[in-house]
Structure 1
Amino acid sequence: MDHATDVAQPYLTGPDGWTFWSDQVDQYASQAVGRTYLTQPEVDRWIAHFRAVRDGLAKDGVEFYVIVTPSTSSVYPEELPEWMQQIRGATALDQVVAGAGDLPLIDLRADLIAQKTPDVHLFSWDNSHWTDFGAYSSWDRIATCVNTAYPDGPPLRTPSIQGSEVIGDFNEWASYGVVSPGADWSAPIYAEPLQDVTRTGADGVAQVVPGSSTTDAGTLPIKTTVPAPWTGKSALIFRDSMGGGLSPLWQQSYSPTWQMWHRYRAGFDDPESYRQYVEQYHPDVVIVQLAERHLINTPAQGAGY
Structure 2
Amino acid sequence: MRSQVSRRHLLVGGALALTGTAPRPSTEDALAALERRAGGRLGVCIVDTARGTTTGWRQDERFTQASSFKLSLAAMILAEADGGRLGLGERLGWSAGDILPHSPITAASAAMTLPIRELARAAVVTSDNIAANVLLRKIGGPARLTAFWRAIGDRISRLDRYEPALNVTPPGTVLDTTTPAAMAATVSRIVRGDVLRPASRALLVEWMVAADTGRNRLRAGFPAGWHAGDKTGTGGGARRPIYVDLAFGGPRGRAPLIVAVYYKPVGTASAAGAEAVLAAVGRIAAGSVA
TM-score (normalised: structure 2) = 0.27
Higher strand share: 1
Give the structure with the larger helix fraction: 2
